[in-house]
Structure 1
Amino acid sequence: MRTIEIANGEIRSSEIALGCMRIADMSVKDVSKLINTALEEGINFFDHADIYGGGKSEELFGTALKEMKGVREKIFIQTKCGIRDGYYDFSRDHILEAVDGSLKRLKTDYIDVLLLHRPDALVEPEEVAEAFSILHASGKIRNFGVSNHNPMQIELLSQYLNQRIIVNQLQLSITNTGMIDAGLNVNMQIDKSVDRDGSVLDYCRLNGITIQAWSPFQYGFFEGTFLDNPKFKTLNDEMDKVAKKYDVPKDAIPIAWILKHPAKIQPIVGTTNPKHLKEICQASNVNLTRKEWYDLYKAAGNKLP
């Protein structure tokens, strides 16, 4: 698998990451098999959050990892905090408490990247800065980032932080292309021209922030997958055609479409099926042409101005 550089090369990561949101109901044995499959395919980056499975996902991953000698130092673990039961919390005390909980469940002494999960309307940047400095100085957290944040929210935090924001995790799939649409429809009096995220794609590219794409197979807001969905017949027909040309499973094409973008976006794939994961990872061997990328974009229902 090809690799990308995150944080100016401090992290040499696989260009595809494995998301662990759905592993909470798996056995330790099956989680171990999934991790081993990921490693065999070249994946070395694993994404978590303290709320996934109510903490069970981190716990199972940590148990499985503990039994795999010598693996921890070869991989990167990312987790997120800030979502509580019915509200968001970026307070100093909660961030520190959440990290200690994640470390305990993951059975590790450090976390490679910590993300603030969703923007907290009541955020006090000074408190975030204090928490980050404590965590960095103690060695518990090596790098920091955000999830679902727009450029001005990142700017506000960065004004106070002593550490760089290196990651922004955002929703992106071939059917959820808001961060791309506005840039293609500049100055047009149509819905697609509306900039809903403050030009976050260009902002992250300008500031060396790696965008991680969550739910790369989903349409809408967790409405389901577009793969083999009759609502997206034109898109599936186009993906079938492209997959046949490159002799890869169709599941690889939506990921290859994301990987083609020059921003070096890192898809977070959340499958728990080792066979499916192997199929998806074949995307790393596909280099779509410019025409193929645009044809897939249009097949998803988008029109070029």
Structure 2
Amino acid sequence: MGLGGTWDDAPYTAADIAHAEAAVEAALDIGITVFDHADIYRRGKSEAVFGELLGRAAGLRERIVLQTKCGIRQADGRRPGMYDLRSGHIVRCVEESLTRLRTDVIDVLLLHRPDPLADPQDTAKALASLHVQGLVRRFGVSNMSAAQIKELQDHLDLPLVADQLEMGLGSRDWVEAGVLVNTPAAAENGFPHGTVEYCRARGIQLQAWGALAQGRYTGPPGTAGPLDAPAAELVADLAERRRTTPETILLWWLQRHPARIAPVIGTSRPERIRACRDAVVREPELTHEEWYELWVAARGGPLP
């Protein structure tokens, strides 16, 4: 999402292409080969800049997994921002993404947000057609509950392979939902309980956006706010003990969960991408106790 320049209609520049190239090189250097896009990022310019790189680097497309999302329509004039999972819109978005990305096929297409007006049978029809045409290899969803996934899957012969959700030490509703069952605080938790378990049981990959918490726990010492400072100090301490980076500790916290969560690191800064290297090449080295210590420190109080 950080590639492609500004969020307005201004065209991307040579500097934006160079920035994207540096980010992609950093990712490939540490073993990252999955690149996550969405048609709305920078109003399509994120995909277009990435397409520039694919056009310039011979063999790059064959080395990577290309994932993108559709289903969000940004506000345009008097039309409000909205969600649209109608079959015609999905097909049109995929065709436009293929053009911007300069590729013949999308490896994974995610439906970006639930559309309350969508007919799941109509949505599934579009996905099946895209697969038969060879335009999309696999499908998943984003920001959807277990019930929403099941409703779509009931109309689709192809298995849904991923659900991308906000998950991380800074966004803990996904893990809190399980332990707040049968407590008054459960009503305040917005995460659909059972979604993690549903995906885990069916082999649906959980992808965590916001995994690095926008730097809340990984900045220089003393820069975290008062609510985040205890967790930030613990992250820094664990990183020193494990001879790794604070970014790795945050990703390990997700990867340590038995659901085998795949973090989406989000950043386009090469130095921060490289700081995630140990999360790619090393197994999570957090003990059971350390994982809980991080959780309690981040939530600011003991577990119920």
TM-score (ref. length: structure 2): 0.88
Report whether the alignment pairs 1:122 with 2:117: yes
Query: SS in structure 1 opposite 2:264?
Result: strand
Report whether the alignment pairs 1:202 with 2:232: no
Task: Give the aligned length.
Answer: 281
Report whether the alignment pairs 1:68 with 2:48: no
Report whether the alignment pairs 1:175 with 2:170: yes
Query: SS in structure 2 opposite 1:27?
Result: helix
- Alignment partner, residue 160 of structure 1: 155
- 1:182 touches 1:193 (CA, 8 Å); kept in 2? no
- Alignment partner, residue 22 of structure 1: 2
- Alignment partner, residue 265 of structure 1: 261
Rounded to whole Å, the distance in 2 between the matches of 1:194 and 1:159 is 28
TM-score (ref. length: structure 1): 0.88
- Alignment partner, residue 282 of structure 1: 278
Instruction: Name the aligned partner's letter for residue 271 of structure 1.
Output: T
Q: CA deviation at 1:302?
A: 4.7
Q: Map Cα deviations across residues 99-152 of structure 1 (whole Å, 9 max, x no partner).
A: 000000000000000000000000111111111111000110000000000011
Deviation beyond 6 Å, 4+ runs, structure 1: none
- 2:248 touches 2:277 (CA, 8 Å); kept in 1? yes
Question: Which ranges of structure 1 fall in alignment gaps of 5 or more residues?
Answer: 1-20
Q: CA deviation at 1:225?
A: 3.2
Rounded to whole Å, the distance in 1 between the matches of 2:249 and 2:114 is 31
Q: Residues 42-53 of structure 1 correspond to what in structure 2 (within 5 A)?
A: 42-53=31-42
Percent same amino acid at aligned positions? 38
Instruction: Name the aligned partner's letter for residue 297 of structure 1.
Output: W
- 1:29 touches 1:64 (CA, 8 Å); kept in 2? no
- Alignment partner, residue 185 of structure 2: 190
Moved more, 203-212 or 177-186: 177-186
Q: Map Cα deviations across residues 253-279 of structure 1 (whole Å, 9 max, x no partner).
A: 111111111111000011111111111
Moved more, 129-138 or 46-55: 129-138
Instruction: Name the aligned partner's letter for residue 157 of structure 2.
Output: N
Q: CA deviation at 1:30?
A: 2.3
Query: SS in structure 1 opposite 2:276?
Result: helix
Rounded to whole Å, the distance in 2 between the matches of 1:233 and 1:225 is 9
Query: SS in structure 1 opposite 2:140?
Result: strand
Question: Which ranges of structure 2 fall in alignment gaps of 5 or more residues?
Answer: 6-14, 75-80
- Alignment partner, residue 245 of structure 1: 241
Query: SS in structure 2 opposite 1:211?
Result: strand
Instruction: Name the aligned partner's letter for residue 44 of structure 1.
Output: T
Rounded to whole Å, the distance in 2 between the matches of 1:133 and 1:302 is 47
Q: CA deviation at 1:226?
A: 4.0
Counterpart among 277, 284, 289 of residue 291 in structure 1? 289
Rounded to whole Å, the distance in 2 between the matches of 1:27 and 1:215 is 23
Q: Residues 228-239 of structure 1 correspond to what in structure 2 (within 5 A)?
A: 228=219, 229-231=224-226, 232-239=228-235
Rounded to whole Å, the distance in 2 between the matches of 1:128 and 1:296 is 40
Q: CA deviation at 1:32?
A: 1.6
- Alignment partner, residue 5 of structure 1: none
Query: SS in structure 1 opposite 2:200?
Result: helix
Cα root mean square deviation, aligned: 1.6
Moved more, 24-33 or 82-91: 24-33
Rounded to whole Å, the distance in 2 between the matches of 1:302 and 1:182 is 16
Query: SS in structure 2 opposite 1:23?
Result: coil
Instruction: Name the aligned partner's letter for residue 243 of structure 2.
Output: D
Query: SS in structure 2 opposite 1:170?
Result: strand
- 2:239 touches 2:245 (CA, 8 Å); kept in 1? yes
- Alignment partner, residue 216 of structure 2: 225
- 1:32 touches 1:65 (CA, 8 Å); kept in 2? no
- Alignment partner, residue 302 of structure 2: 303
Rounded to whole Å, the distance in 1 between the matches of 2:23 and 2:185 is 44
Rounded to whole Å, the distance in 2 between the matches of 1:74 and 1:174 is 31
